[in-house]
Structure 1
Amino acid sequence: MPVLTLNGRACRIANIFCIGRNFVAHAAELGNPVEPEPLVFLKPTSALLLEGSPVVLPDYSRDVHHECELVVLIGRGGDHIAEADALQHVAGYGIGLDLTARDAQNDAKQKGHPWTKAKGFRGAACLSALVPAERVPDPQALTFSLKVNGETRQEGDTSLMLFGVARLIAELSARYGLTEGDLIYTGTPAGVSAIGAGDVLELELDGLVSARWEVAA
């Protein structure tokens, strides 16, 4: 399993939970309805890609999209965590990419199949270095952005999330249980679009942390 470092301490990654349609404008741009509860899907840990390694696009897709997101690292697991206590279970925050093979996803949707081929390929879960949770007093008061080749493609404001971090932790812990080392990709704002060979992707989380990836030729 992959290992991250936070405050000089190694943290082994357990599960990667991802939240879909958590920003109204992004749901609208893809013609999707807003869900009454968090839409959850999973990525395998083999999809995790840390800064310094190139993004390798899957050979079965011609339409891989970037989706820039706030990422939460769980430091203390639990079941049925109360929303009021949820942020005490967070170890750190980062900025990441939920890369999506949109053509494969659309095909899966039409057939009623799972999205794993579209969402779980190697490198589909890019993640920056992590910021300790104590440096983020309110995760719903953050801005983040993505530039592709120097052009701003996505700008996010966590105050606009339909389901905030505390609510997500409470819901995930009630349904699945949370474990130390779990990651939560919290959803992307509008502005998703395709990436291609040679593109340079630069992410920033509210002046706290930044990251850069290049798409392999």
Structure 2
Amino acid sequence: MSRGVAAVQTPGRRRRSEGKKAAILDAAEALFLAEGYERTSVDAIAARAQVSKRTVYDHFGEKAAIFLRVVERVNDALVSAVRAAIDEELVPGRDLRDALTAFGRRVVTQTFPSADYMTFRRLTSQQWSAPRLAEAVRDQPERMLEERFAVLAADGEIRAADPVVAARHFTALTIGLALDALDDRRAAEAEEPEEPEVLTIVTDGVDAFLRAYR
């Protein structure tokens, strides 16, 4: 085969390769959720993805690496959602109470109920033997919010000697309490809180935060 022909075919091979990678990750995610990390095998992943076991190993390696890539893929989607919420809600010039409230409500009403978030929670709560994301990767949303709070402090929007602590206080008073309410209802197998109830948690938390930091 001439180099010219090979060059023409390369994009097609690349698309097929990416398609196989996506199929493998989709299959692995479904199996890890349904069967758990321990009971899922590379053979089962290959069979569900309709590829050879060799193809799975060529693209991702051992099962632990596949699991981490599945979790990273979901985490990447969550990071993008939080980044968009920060960039679109915590904008310069906007009333701070409105901005913080809109950000907290967006995370609570859009990110928490999302399929990506539920998948992430289920994957990362698996048994101790499942591999764990590196802390730097797992904590990206918190780091992004801390960076934005540092800007708010530098601009005089909040009084915070340590913006990292301020961001954590904000999260605990708003998003953290809202998540606790949702988790308590799920643990009790009760209906999830009505949206107005969760939004009130966020609004009250923002007011408490601003009383301490303005």
TM-score where L is the length of structure 1: 0.20
Q: Which has the higher helix share?
A: 2
Larger Rg: 2
TM-score where L is the length of structure 2: 0.21
Q: Which has the higher strand share?
A: 1
Which structure has the higher relative contact order (CA within 8 Å, separation 6+)?
Answer: 1
